[in-house]
Amino acid sequence: MQALRGKLLYVDLTGGKITKEDTPDNLIRDYLGGEGFAVKLFCDAMDPKLDAFDPNNVLVVSAGLFTGNAVPTAGKTVFVSKSPLTGTIAESIMGGAIGAELKAAGYDALVIKGRSKSPKYLFIEDDVVGLLDASKYWGRFTRDVSEGIQNEAGSDVIVACIGPGGEKLVRFAGIDCEDRQAGRGGLGAVMGSKNLKALAVRGTRDIGVADPKRLASISLTWQGIMEKSNAFNEDTKYGSGEFLGWMNSERGVFPTRNWNDSVFEERAKIDPYYWAPRYGVKNKGCFACTKACGKLFVVDDGPYAGTVLDGIEYETLYSLGSQCGNPDIEALAKANEVCDLYGIDTISTGVVIGFVMELVERGILNPDDIGVDCRFTNPDAVPKMAELIGMRKGMGKLFGEGVARISKEILQGSENFAIHVKGMEPPAYDVRGMKGLGLGFMTSPRGACHLRSGFYALDLTGKFWRISDVDRFSPSGKGEQVKLMEDFMTVYDCLGMCKFQRGFFKLEGLMELLDAVVGVSFTEDDLLLVGERINNLKQLFNLDAGIRRKDSYLPKRITQEPIKSGVSKGALLTETEMIGMLDDYYKARRWDREGRPVQSKLAQLGLV
Amino acid sequence: MVAGLVPYPEKCTGCRFCELICSLTHEGSVNRKKARLRIVKKGIRNDIPVVCTQCVACGDDCCAEACPENAISMVGDILVVSEEMCTGCGICEKTCKYGVIRVVEGIARKCDLCSGDPVCVKFCPLGALKYEEPGGERYLAVLAMLGGK
């Protein structure tokens, strides 16, 4: 089949055994690629009851079906494993070129299990696959590892690696490739637990296209449509944080100081409309992105001179900014850089820091014991805390466990303001005033996430695609709508498409591309069924892993403390609404009250 | 006007879509290693578009001069490889200081400016690649950034 490479690569780090298998023919029809392949292969190979740090935990890497092909903005690589943060199945997706290169080397997916006795990196050059010594890279920053391996193996080798955070099993450590991160869910710690420092790939093979002329023509048409849009102008100028000011002032749902507030009064100082012209040297893009929304951010002077990173993304402006009461953009940039170098997730790191700040404010923790004056009023504490966590030094050992485990260790009522769902620290959307996304936080298999459902767009603007008249303060109708959006969004992760383009391509654009790239026709219903199949498969895994309905519930601050100020003042997502929405969602999914899919649904999806 | 591909590294985002669409257009399949231009990433700061100068800034290191088969010749304003005459010996690749003419599977693959309508430029909206009057100093600046092949 065009676009598929035909091989799956299996690596067992315990014995060093490397095997190749043929990619089953029906895999595209049922799972498309990318996230679909990774979830399917993971579930086939993994015992759900094993701990995330068990040597036999499985890590799958798969490029989206369009990734590596000439489809604008299709460059994503999907990692799937059992998360050490949530104990669920977790997908973590990045814009680095590792997946595309893996495909060019001839592999539709890479399945890793086992644990090496000493630090290794996996080197792949087309058919040649080997485990090489990584002792000299152990303990080193992500950027140094990439540079070192490229000096050793060639500058055109694509490297994905972990930093010290992953080695030290920070439960929210990520995987880095070209300063793009698979940040969420702690899959970098899974690599660390396996003594696997990096993947290094060089691929030289052709990736087939069913109808090259048609693909070139479709791609050009879409490129023209994108470039003419307002979104193109806004995103390339200001990046993903373009709407930060609007979120703060017009919607009043920009979480601040560990979700004590939902409006950040010093917003203007971290708004990209302020910093992009001052610190943004040029744009940076994910692999294959022709609408690049990243910025090369450089600090030239002051205490943080020399800071350089690809960012700062919207979620990070919240997590290392407003969540920590931090209006100092240079301290924020430094903290972001620290997270990238140590290889830890900026969202979880920032939410942990804000949580610790509240623990200090309430007198539950003493800053002297932490060694950092960790307060909402001290911006300089943010990069220092990020470093403490990345190194797991002193109390950083506890903080690297994530909000849920810190709270369990400390108790003293901290569970009331430990902000997480299924152990996952949430992104920058105060769901007290965004009830659809509130449900999305609950139903996301990997815990609090805005990108499984993408429902923030509907809550904030009232409509998307087939869905209209969405009232962000009402729980009504959300079950069916969130289900539909989750299935829709999953298609994007299967194809490796950037979700920022979903308003352009919707599903019909993808269908046209599928026809040109793969030569297979899919209807909208076919695609949504693939999404539904994958979401059911994840749920089955989570059930077998012991995840229960109550694990999806929202933190008490969201169900009990109304938003204090701004245009969403008084908004609350009550426990009754929470339970009602979850019931509606389970009904829409044809899952029973505990979330177990009914037999007829499984039969329809071919999952019996 | 004689136009050529002109690189603006300070605008390059490092996305490499130019490589993908170049190979799709010329090969009918996608393979960055067969693209007629390349993006070199050096650390986080540098994304360097390396393009064929069509002999504008090659000096003595001219692939056409070096070719023992005379397989590279001007067609209009564009230096083109004759696939019939090319033996894949690789002398051109060794000669080219930009490293953009590459012998893959026995044929030298060289930018032909898509016969005067280069497709890479159409997918480079932030202006890292332009099709315009060639400025030799921009090619030399790229060489300096590369510091060798």
> What class has domain A240-410?
mainly alpha
* Percent of chain A predicted with pLDDT > 70: 99
CB A207 within 8 A of CB A3: yes
3-state class of A282 per DSSP? strand
pLDDT digits (tens, 9 = 90+) for B62-96: 999 999 999 999 988 899 999 999 999 999 999 99
In this predicted structure, what is the pLDDT of residue A370? 98
Q: What is the number of other CB atoms lying within 10 angstroms of the CB of residue B28? A: 15
The angle, 0 to 180 degrees and rounded to 10, between the axes of the packed helices A142-153 and A329-342 is: 50
Q: What is the number of other CB atoms lying within 10 angstroms of the CB of residue A415? A: 15
In this predicted structure, what is the pLDDT of residue A3? 62
C-alpha distances in Å from residue A145, one per residue of A9, A75, A162, B15: 23, 22, 8, 21
Beta bridge partners of A129: A124
Q: What b/e readout covers A117-155, taking b as 16+ CB neighbours within 10 angstroms?
A: eebbbbbbbeeebebeebeebbebbbbebbbbbbeebee
Is B127 an 8 Å CB contact of chain A? no
The amino acid sitting at A305 is A
3-state class of A72 per DSSP? coil
CATH T-level fold of A431-554+574-605: 1.10.599
C-alpha distances in Å from residue A337, one per residue of A297, A340, A376, A382, A568: 10, 5, 20, 11, 33
Alpha-carbon span A115 to A110, nearest angstrom: 16
Instruction: Tell me the mean pLDDT in the region A524-533.
Output: 98
Judged by CB atoms closer than 8 Å, whether chains meet at A282 and B32 is answered as: no
In this predicted structure, what is the pLDDT of residue B77? 83
**Shortest distance, CA B51 to any CA of chain A (angstroms):** 16
Alpha-carbon span A582 to A442, nearest angstrom: 8
In this predicted structure, what is the pLDDT of residue B147? 86
Closest C-alpha to A95, from A111, A112, A73, A65: A73
Cis peptide upstream of residue A312 (ω within 30 degrees of 0): yes
Instruction: Tell me the mean pLDDT in the region A23-34.
Output: 94
A147 chain-B contacts, CB cut-off 8 A: 43
Alpha-carbon span B132 to B53, nearest angstrom: 12
Alpha-carbon span A296 to A290, nearest angstrom: 16
Alpha-carbon span A388 to A188, nearest angstrom: 17
In this predicted structure, what is the pLDDT of residue B136? 87
In this predicted structure, what is the pLDDT of residue A1? 58
In the numeric block, the tokens 């220092």 are attached to A384
CATH T-level fold of A7-202: Aldehyde Ferredoxin Oxidoreductase;  A, domain 1 (3.60.9)
Alpha-carbon span A213 to A491, nearest angstrom: 24
pLDDT digits (tens, 9 = 90+) for A270-308: 999 999 999 999 999 999 999 999 999 999 999 999 999
Instruction: Tell me the mean pLDDT in the region A28-37.
Output: 97
Residues A472, A477, A481, CA angle at the centre, nearest 5°?
Answer: 85
In this predicted structure, what is the pLDDT of residue A604? 98
Q: Is residue B149 pLDDT above 80, yes or no? A: no
Q: What b/e readout covers A22-44, taking b as 16+ CB neighbours within 10 angstroms?
A: ebeeebbebbbbbbbbbbbbbbe
Substitution target in A5, A206, A237, A299 with the highest count of B β-carbons within 10 Å is: A206
Closest C-alpha to A448, from A571, A354, A552, A596: A552
- The larger pLDDT score, comparing residue B60 to residue A547, is at A547
Alpha-carbon span A485 to A535, nearest angstrom: 11
The secondary structure of B78-95 as a DSSP string is EEEE-TTT-----HHHHH
Is B28 an 8 Å CB contact of chain A? yes
Domain ranges in chain B are 4-146
Chain A, chain B: beta-carbon pairs less than 8 Å apart: 104
Is B13 an 8 Å CB contact of chain A? yes
Q: Is residue B1 pLDDT above 70, yes or no? A: no
Domain ranges in chain A are 7-202, 240-410, 431-554+574-605
Is B21 an 8 Å CB contact of chain A? yes
In this predicted structure, what is the pLDDT of residue A598? 98
Q: Is residue A89 pLDDT above 60, yes or no? A: yes
pLDDT digits (tens, 9 = 90+) for A370-389: 999 999 999 999 999 999 99
In this predicted structure, what is the pLDDT of residue A247? 98
In this predicted structure, what is the pLDDT of residue A549? 97
In this predicted structure, what is the pLDDT of residue A454? 98
In this predicted structure, what is the pLDDT of residue A242? 97
**Shortest distance, CA B13 to any CA of chain A (angstroms):** 4
pLDDT digits (tens, 9 = 90+) for A171-213: 999 999 999 999 999 999 999 999 999 999 999 999 999 999 9
**Shortest distance, CA A52 to any CA of chain B (angstroms):** 32
Q: Is residue B2 pLDDT above 90, yes or no? A: no
pLDDT digits (tens, 9 = 90+) for A304-323: 999 999 999 999 999 999 99
**Shortest distance, CA B40 to any CA of chain A (angstroms):** 8
B123 chain-A contacts, CB cut-off 8 A: 72, 219-220, 223, 290
pLDDT digits (tens, 9 = 90+) for A424-443: 999 999 999 999 999 999 99
Average pLDDT, chain B: 94
**Shortest distance, CA B107 to any CA of chain A (angstroms):** 15
Instruction: Tell me the mean pLDDT in the region A49-70.
Output: 98
Which H or E run contains A132?
strand A128-133
Judged by CB atoms closer than 8 Å, whether chains meet at B14 and A284 is answered as: yes
Q: Is residue A489 pLDDT above 70, yes or no? A: yes
Give the confidence band of A348 by pLDDT, cuts at 50, 70, 90: very high
pLDDT digits (tens, 9 = 90+) for A561-585: 999 999 999 999 999 999 999 999 9
Closest C-alpha to B71, from B93, B87, B48, B51: B87
B126 chain-A contacts, CB cut-off 8 A: 236, 283, 292
Judged by CB atoms closer than 8 Å, whether chains meet at A289 and B45 is answered as: no
Substitution target in A282, A312, A497, A518 with the highest count of B β-carbons within 10 Å is: A282
Closest C-alpha to A198, from A308, A86, A110: A110
Is B43 an 8 Å CB contact of chain A? yes
In this predicted structure, what is the pLDDT of residue A356? 98
**Shortest distance, CA A289 to any CA of chain B (angstroms):** 5
Alpha-carbon span A60 to A544, nearest angstrom: 19
The number of C-alpha atoms within 13 Å of A67 and in the hemisphere containing its C-beta is: 37
